Amino acid sequence: MNQNILIKISFYFKKYDDFKNLSLCNKSTTQIKNNYSIYFFLLKKYFTYFKKHKILKYLQQGPFKKFANKYPILKWKTEYLGFSGYIDSIFNNQLNDSIMIGIDHYKRPFITIGYMKNNKIGCITYFQRYENCSFNWVWGGDTFYGYGNNHLNSNDLPNILYLLEEMENNEQVIYNNSTYRLIKKEGGTQVPPSPLLNS
């Protein structure tokens, strides 16, 4: 966060009690409202910053640390959690961006990807399986890359990271006889339209 923002936040935290006394100091109603507006704007920015910091702290301990600081936060909802404790109920229509990060109420970090594979829409969430166990990651949702059980296979991981990086920078990626692309979100990740969709 910008140093000036932090200084202003500290200043307004210290001055908050004075806001209540502004009317006693012959300050105008407009000035009081302006000061309140500035305070709540900075407060919101302050907590947004620390929320992201908390998510990054956990995410950067796992296999997707390279991508941790790139994406917006998906606010956690209990409906994302399945009966088995897996984060397997996040769908494309719940994403504001093609790739989003977050943390659940068990403090497990996750990264969710909305994608198209061979012209079929999918959504997958990679997440830390257990709290305080940063090396054990699994996935829920649709199959993105690899097969077998829902554990994030160490042999598949380099391919997944490669695909993510390529999909960010290319209209589509052909890899192991499959075509991949990110699903474009309005106002989110800018991905050019695929010629496959127009054929």
Extents of the domains making up the chain: 3-59, 65-190
3-state secondary structure at position 171:
coil
On whether the pTM is more than 0.85, the answer is no
Q: Is the pLDDT of residue 193 over 50?
A: no
Maximum Cα–Cα distance for the chain, whole Å?
73
Query: In terms of Cα–Cα distance, which of 77, 179, 64 is closest to 127?
Result: 64
3-state secondary structure at position 147:
coil
pLDDT in tens, 121-151: 999 999 999 988 888 999 999 989 876 688 8
Average pLDDT over the chain, rounded to whole? 77
Angle, vertex CA 143, rays to CA 139 and CA 144, nearest 5: 90
Q: What percent of the chain has pLDDT over 70?
A: 65
Q: Based on the number of CB atoms within 10 Å of its own CB, is 169 exposed (0-12), middle (13-18) or buried (19 or more)?
A: exposed
